[in-house]
Chains A and B, each alone.
Chain A
Amino acid sequence: MDFDFSDDQKLLKESVGKLMASRYGDFEKRKGYQTHTNGFDPAVWAEYAEAGILSLPFSEEQGGFGGGPVETMIVMEEMGTALAVEPYLACVVLAGAVLKYGKADDKIPEIATGEAIVALANIERSSRYDLNDVSLPAKLDGTAYVLEGEKSVVLGGGAADYFIVATRTSGNRRDVDGITLLLVDAKSPGISRRGYPTQDGQHAAEVSFGSVRVPVANVIGEVGKGLPILARAVDEAIAGLCAEAVGAMDALVKMTVEYLKTRKQFGVAIGSFQALQHRSVDMLVMLEQARSMAIYAALSVDDADEVARGNAISAAKVQIGRSAKFIGQQSVQLHGGIGVTMEYKAGHYFKRLTMIEQMFGDSDYHMRKLAASGAAIAA
């Protein structure tokens, strides 16, 4: 048992923390980044590349830094504290994991250097959170697949140079087999997209494919066997998201406690009211529960046992969702009116935390997934 970071990890935390503080220390800067097309400033992305965090989760052979889940946790927590708007989770963690586990190494250097943004397009109008719920057909025509249909809420999809598209090459809409992952150049004829901001100030896109031809060489993994790769990548993204949420919650709890100590009503700091002290304590308890589960997620995501891995990730996601909801709601409440304004940072943490709960399966979804797998959380 060891909860300490190694010296390298401490160094990483410190340097990423510094970088994020320089880019996000002033909240006004974040608003500036959001005004760029696709909702982030490419200059900041270039700095991430320079600092090496875009190459972090990839092996040295793949052109990466060889970081593992703990390193990703460290970076994502700092992203959460900063309320960063760049598509790090979408591109480096999520799409990067698909490429990694699909053994499609050739695009990884482009991610690692910041040259290309890759986004995963798997959600459809009625798939909700089920990864196996894929309809978009890819029909084989000579040496190419032809794609026809729409993908929704593609994270980082506005800026993407490549999409990883989950397609159906055989079987029916919800079959586990028959899902094929294809790497698709975003400039391919027949692709149109509509980028938009999300509720939490990040960015996503609706992407439609009209007879888009994709060379068979662009299959990631094996034909019809995309689901396990997708599931593993999404688990990795959830672990990252849990860490991001912890960063955001930690900052929000601190911010709220600070506010209670300075805001005066009735001639005293409102933090002198025991009701508010106890509420803050409950927030702290929820934060520590979440932190523990984010660690659990990071340390389970490489578990070779797929079911154990999935269960651990679902358990973490549920705890993060509960903590995020409680801390988000209570911090707004304890701020009073200022907590529901756009100009103040607390409300933005609240919105991000709310969306984190909804992403990659909300708490209900993961509760039911756990229950269906025999309610087995490894002892």
Chain B
Amino acid sequence: MDLNLSAEELAFRDEVRAFIAAELSPETREKLVLGREIGKHDFVEWQRKLNAKGWAVPHWPVEWGGQNWGPMQEYIFLDELQQAPAPSPLQFNCSMVGPVIATFGSEEQKKKFLPATANLDIWWCQGFSEPGAGSDLAGLKTTARREGDFYIINGQKTWTTLAQYADWIFVLARTNPQAEKKQQGISFILVDMKTPGVTVRPIQLIDGGREVNEVWFDEVKVPAENLVGQENRGWDYAKFLLTNERMGIARIGVSKQRIRRIKELAKSERYGDTQLLDQPWFREKLVSVEIELKALEITQLRVLAEARKRGKHGEADPNSSILKIKGSELQQVTTELMMDVMGPFVLPFAASMDDEDRTNEPPIGPDYAASAGPTYFNSRKISIYGGSNEIQRNIIAKAILGF
């Protein structure tokens, strides 16, 4: 047993750190530090820099830009990005649709999409959830009817993150309504957002931001060659995708970075005749979270060590549900701590944290206070999406405890 990184791993960590320090735009970093929303431009610029370095899609097959890193190296990489803080490569592209196309797509699809997906020349969004199909994803109702060389898609997707930026959407649609099990009649189809009949409507979230959308399909005509893999096998590809998504889902680096920031701010926050950070009760609260974070990090490393033993495309590990539950809770708790720093200045609402809504008005109170409340409100989504924490508990109950 050894908790230390190897010499190579340490050297790699330093290399990543140096690269971020040299290449990340200070504006993008500042937005992340202040808890402001980052825009399309921030994502694209950064991902292209990563891609030029060969780091946008390290976990893809080598012929499509992968690096053949081990799970530990992938973890170090993501952790450094999160702690910098820097944007992660767009997950819809890099962890979701990319690996699906690389694994199940046709040669033409790979050539057409993979390089552009890695470079963020194409922005993808995820068209899975529907108003009636959230936790019960297989209950989806959107249909794709085959007509000659085309599929005709009808239905409604919802909660589609950043669809307003997207060029393409990957959709789960029902191609065989008669299938015996509802999971069996679903297909995975790629749709150009510019196709007539696709409508995007923003949904405003409680923090005032507009990161999610409804996407409507009205007789949308899609070439049949945009089907990924086989018809009616889309559920298998979706499960494969969701397994890939688990990598780094705990986002421990994000919580670490936020705690560091809290300490920095609490040092300058006057508290009676002292600083907030000098208050023993406040330190106890911080330490209490740091203990859990340390435990989770080691748990994460144990899960990765297991993954390394099983090889890259092993079975989904139900232990990653532990990472999701605890990781989301800790991300949420750190946003609560951040509010505690602000005192009464949590209250003022300074328009939205959206890039486009920002005004030039001076901040009310300290300039870092404005995002504390909205970030907390917004963080409640983390235990809802990507399989809610209740669904994760169901998975653990079944797959680990044997109920």
Contacts and interface: CB of A to CB of B under 8 A. Distances in A.
B281 interface: yes
A266 B140 CA distance: 11
Give the interface residue-count category, chain B: 35 or more
Interface in A250-301: 264-267, 270, 273, 275-276
Contacts of B388: 333, 336
B243 interface: no
B158 A337 contact: yes
B205 A341 contact: yes
B203 interface: yes
Interface string B206-241: 101000100000000000000000000000000000
Interface string A340-353: 11110001101100
B205 A355 contact: no
B168 interface: no
Contact of A368 (B133, B281, B349): B281
A191 interface: no
Interface string A126-165: 1011100100000000000000000011000000000000
Interface string B243-274: 00000000000000000000000000111110
Interface string A30-45: 0000000000000000
Contacts of B348: 153, 196, 198-199, 204
Given A265-B135, A350-B377, A354-B377, A364 B384 contact: no
Contacts of B204: 341-343
B339 A275 contact: no
A45 to B, nearest CB: 21
Contact of B347 (A198, A329, A343): A198
Interface in A113-137: 123, 125-126, 128-130, 133
A153 B373 CA distance: 15
B339 A336 contact: no
A123 B380 contact: no
Given A199-B373, A354-B377, A337 B134 contact: yes
A152 B373 CA distance: 17
Given A276-B390, A343-B204, A126 B344 contact: no
A342 B135 contact: no
A15 interface: no
Contacts of A126: 269-270
Contact of B136 (A194, A266, A350): A266
A199 B378 contact: no
A354 B349 CA distance: 13
Interface residues of A, number: 47
B376 A354 contact: yes
Nearest to A275: B390
A197 interface: yes
A362 B347 CA distance: 12
B349 A336 contact: no
B350 interface: yes
B393 interface: yes
A364 B381 CA distance: 25
Nearest to B205: A340
Given A152-B364, A359-B347, A333 B340 contact: no
Interface in A73-125: 123, 125
Contact of A196 (B136, B139, B350): B350
Nearest to B210: A342
B248 to A, nearest CB: 22
Nearest to A173: B273
A266 B377 CA distance: 28
Contacts of A368: 281
B129 A130 contact: no
Contacts of A351: 206, 373, 377
Interface string A189-213: 0000010111110001010000000
A174 interface: yes
A275 B393 contact: yes
B385 interface: yes
B39 interface: no
A190 to B, nearest CB: 20
Task: Give the most central of B346, B365, B389: most A CB within 10 Å.
Answer: B346
Contacts of B350: 196
Given A128-B343, A199-B346, A206-B364, A342 B205 contact: yes
B383 interface: yes
B380 A340 contact: yes
Task: Give the most central of B343, B373, B378: most A CB within 10 Å.
Answer: B343
B374 interface: yes
B203 A341 contact: yes
Nearest to A329: B380
A358 interface: yes
Contacts of B339: 354, 358
Contact of B345 (A153, A265, A266, A333): A153
29 contacts: A128-B343, A128-B344, A153-B345, A199-B346, A199-B348, A199-B374, A204-B348, A265-B139, A332-B380, A336-B135, A336-B384, A336-B388, A337-B134, A339-B380, A340-B205, A340-B206, A340-B384, A341-B204, A341-B206, A342-B205, A342-B208, A343-B204, A350-B377, A351-B373, A351-B377, A354-B376, A355-B347, A359-B347, A364-B285
Closest 3 CB pairs of A and B: A347-B206, A126-B270, A342-B204
Interface of A: 123, 125-126, 128-130, 133, 152-153, 174, 194, 196-200, 204, 206, 264-267, 270, 273, 275-276, 329, 332-333, 336-337, 339-343, 347-348, 350-351, 354-355, 358-359, 362, 364, 368
Given A128-B344, A265-B134, A355-B346, 13 more contacts: A198-B349, A199-B347, A265-B133, A265-B136, A337-B158, A340-B206, A343-B203, A354-B377, A358-B346, A358-B347, A359-B347, A364-B282, A364-B340
Interface of B: 129, 132-136, 139, 158-159, 203-206, 208, 212, 269-273, 281-282, 285, 339-340, 343-350, 364-365, 373-374, 376-378, 380-381, 383-385, 388-390, 393
